[in-house]
Structure 1
Amino acid sequence: MRLDGSMRALCAAGALGVALATAAVPVRADDAPDETLRALADLVLNGVREQIADCEGRPRVLALAGPGTAALANPRPPLRWNPQLGEAAARHGDAMARTRLFDHVGADGSTVRERVDATGYRWQVIGENLAAGHPRLEEAVVGWLRSRSHCAALLDPRFTEFGLARTESTSPNDAYGTYWTLVLGRPR
């Protein structure tokens, strides 16, 4: 059976949906080891980078002709976990949960560049995606894909490494409850 481009895209979208659905395990900072979050993030983030073609309008899925062909058509390198970026993400996530300030600029006035520099990571390019109120990683990623600037950061081929943190607020009055911080980088 020969599939036209739109049918292939629909099948690829379904495959990505299955990948996200199987990753739909609530990951909590207090009940899941860091390795679980890293493995889940690696699967989901790299699946998005491999399958999503661009962020214009609704994100388009790369049409697949067979296994592995998306990687051939896709110049984006896979993201690798970096502990320094993870540290920067965790520090900012902790600060957002503590202060209930959901912003790229920290309550102390720090920027992602300053937070990453403080870890000793030497970077060529750096970026940050934030999400709040989503208990699961795939929900945060769907939100990022719906935002042109956040989607563009996820798909940016200049990024080769990432750090991710999920932080729970301890305040019962926190409107968000859960904070996600994704720091993307490329080392010098």
Structure 2
Amino acid sequence: MQLPRPATTRLVKSLRLGLCALGLAVLAACGGGGSETAAADTTSGGAASTTPTSGVVSSSTPVTSTNPDGGTQVAGVSTVAGECGLPDFQASLLKRLNDIRAAGATCGATVFAPGAGALRWNTPLTQAALGHSQDMVARNYFEHTTPTGVSFDARITAAGYNWRAAGENIAAGHATVDEVVAGWMASEGHCRVIMNPVFVDVGAACVPGSSSNRFSTYWTMDIGAAR
């Protein structure tokens, strides 16, 4: 499994950094796929990437940045889609994330104490996540940034989420909610995105791949704190 690195962007000064890890699944990846976050207080690590050799990939590349403006609502994206046919997708994913945040976790060298606030499901973030998973399937890629250069923070803004901090994890090939969350938590960068107490809203989507795609499923989780 491959875990791409996290990238971060600070509030006043924007930069992208990251760290990569290997595992059984591929989550957000270095230079493509992964996790992105936007926040005032973020950390970063070194950069590296590898090519996944299995049908499951995860990347851990959170990126952070600040959003000077608001955004406009994306039309024509249904939040009913994007669940990969999984029962209770929204409820089970939200419960899993909040149980982990409540219990606390160690992400690499960083210890997150128990008691991080519960996340709330957010429609604009879900629309942004769904649109990205659908796009990865349609154009057959696995990256945070689209082939035309649209970044995760631009997608979140375009979905109508006016954020002060935001992040993104992506994954591919995972079959269940528990499997994808376990993959993210096993990667330091993805883990930090999930455990960051700054975040209060979350949205996610899973879109099945087709016979022409590299992976069977494409996951995107967008997370943030509104202005």
Question: How far apart are the structure 2 equivalents of 1:74 and 1:142?
Answer: 18
Residue pairs, 1:21-100, within 5 angstroms: 29=83, 31-32=85-86, 36-56=88-108, 74-100=114-140
Question: How far apart are the structure 2 equivalents of 1:56 and 1:143?
Answer: 14
Choose between structure 1 and 2: higher helix proportion: 1
Q: CA deviation at 1:177?
A: 1.3
- The corresponding residue for 1:16 is none
What TM-score does the superposition give when structure 1 sets the normalisation length?
0.72
Choose between structure 1 and 2: higher strand proportion: 2
User: Are positions 1:120 and 2:160 aligned together?
Assistant: yes
Checking the alignment, whether the CA contact within 8 Å between 1:82 and 1:162 is kept in structure 2 is yes
Query: Percent identity of the aligned residues?
Result: 34
* Structure-2 change in CA distance of 1:185 and 1:174 (3 Å): same
- The corresponding residue for 1:148 is 188
RMSD, aligned CA: 2.0
Question: How far apart are the structure 1 equivalents of 2:103 and 2:156?
Answer: 28
Question: How far apart are the structure 2 equivalents of 1:56 and 1:104?
Answer: 22
Secondary structure of the corresponding residue to residue 83 of structure 2: coil
CA deviations over 1:4-51 (Å, ceiling 9, x no partner): xxxxxxxxxxxxxxxxxxxxxxxx736357xx2110111111111112
Question: How far apart are the structure 2 equivalents of 1:158 and 1:30?
Answer: 29
Unmatched 5+ stretches in structure 2: 1-81
Question: How far apart are the structure 2 equivalents of 1:106 and 1:185?
Answer: 20
- The corresponding residue for 2:226 is 187
- The corresponding residue for 1:6 is none
Question: How far apart are the structure 2 equivalents of 1:56 and 1:29?
Answer: 30
- The corresponding residue for 2:66 is none
Aligned residue type for 1:138: D
Runs of 4+ in 1 over 6 A off after TM superposition: none
Question: How far apart are the structure 1 equivalents of 2:137 and 2:100?
Answer: 27
- The corresponding residue for 1:104 is 144
- The corresponding residue for 2:52 is none
